[in-house]
Amino acid sequence: MRRLEPAAIAGVMSREVANFRTYWKGTTFSSVLEPIVYLLAFGLGLGATLVDEVEGVPYIQFVGTGMVATAVIFSSALPAMFGTFVKHRFQNTYEAILAAPVDIEELVTAEMLWIALRSGIYGCVPLLVTFAFGLAPAWGMLLVPFFCFVTALGFAGFGITMAATVDKIDQFNYVTALCITPLFLVAGTFFPISGLPQGVQLVAQINPLHQLVELVRGGAFGFEAVDIARFAFLVAVALLTWRIAISRMGARLID
């Protein structure tokens, strides 16, 4: 019977934590600084010169709440792709782990959980920075780390799937250009998707990043009834990518 052993998952995650201690400064610096630069560039630059408010919200706060999604995808999908590829193809880490009483499901699950935990923390940084620009704290914001965690699970599964699919590490350029960048641009971070062409709006509505943006703004400015459906969508994406990642990684690792 297929099952997930908590001890096996905890063992893999403890290995990741021990390894993370050796490079956490560089990873944290890039994961935190990049969304802050976007926030300051668009919020202070564009917001101070061309745009005052969007949908009744000061533009700097509109961008700040949206940048949470950017921090999540940059700290989940990219580390999952490159980190998984390096550990599997170059370091043979996964072969060593599978020699222990750990199976593919437990290995992939542990990797996704670890990446999602990190992203859940990194994703909150733009929101905290926005406090300095007048964003008022709200009780709904306490749910933002949880929203980030679930969204990061989905993108971690996507990244692991891509790492198990491509043959060379430079092929991630195609994934970034064709998937990650478009999702980032049509998430509603810098402008409402209502101004996009109808076809692009349909794409944006199934974009997990857009769902996260709306959930974060709901936590900051007031939830709506439809937000329950948005969260359910993110959970479904996480479950789907989890199973696909297990399947693809199993095909790659097991002859």
Question: Which tens digits make up the pLDDT trace of 26-41?
Answer: 888 877 787 778 777 7
Residue 151: the pLDDT is 96
The pLDDT of residue 9 is above 90: yes
Share of the chain above pLDDT 90, in %: 51
Q: 132 lies in a domain? A: yes
Q: How many domains does the chain have?
A: 1
Cα separation, 135 vs 57, whole angstroms: 10
Helix (H) or strand (E) holding 6: helix 6-20
The whole-angstrom separation of Cα 116 and Cα 71 is 12
pTM: 0.91
Query: Residue 189: what pLDDT?
Result: 86
Q: What is the pLDDT of residue 1?
A: 44
Percent of the chain residues topping a pLDDT of 70: 96
**Nearest CA-CA partner of 57 in 43, 38, 37, 71:** 43
Query: Of 21 and 38, which is predicted with more confidence?
Result: 21
Q: What is the pLDDT of residue 47?
A: 60
Question: Is residue 236 situated within a structural domain?
Answer: yes
Domain assignment of residue 55, yes or no: yes
Query: Would the pLDDT of 2 be above 70?
Result: no
In a domain, 224, yes or no: yes
Q: Where does the pLDDT of residue 232 fall: very low under 50, low under 70, confident under 90, or very high at 90 and above?
A: very high
Tell me which of 13 and 33 has the higher pLDDT: 13
Selected residue with higher pLDDT from 195 and 169: 169
Answer yes or no: is pLDDT of 15 > 60.
yes
Is 1 inside any structural domain?
A: no
Name the token pair of 103. Answer: 């199976």
pLDDT exceeds 90 at position 199:
no
Tell me whether residue 119 is in a domain: yes
The secondary structure of 129-161 as a DSSP string is HHHTTTPPP-GGGGGHHHHHHHHHHHHHHHHHH
Q: Is the pLDDT of residue 126 over 60?
A: yes
Instruction: Find the range with the poorest average confidence among 4-8, 52-56, 207-211.
Output: 52-56
Give the highest mean pLDDT range of 59-63, 175-179, 194-198.
Answer: 175-179
Average pLDDT over every residue of 63-82: 91
16 in a structural domain: yes
Is residue 37 classed exposed, middle or buried when 0-12, 13-18 and 19+ CB atoms within 10 A define those classes? exposed
Domain that holds residue 118: 6-253
Mean pLDDT, all residues of the chain: 88
Q: How confident is the model at residue 60 (pLDDT cuts 50, 70, 90)?
A: confident
- The answer to whether residue 181 sits within a structural domain is yes
Least confident range of 118-127, 130-139, 212-221, 228-237: 130-139
Residue 57 pLDDT: 84
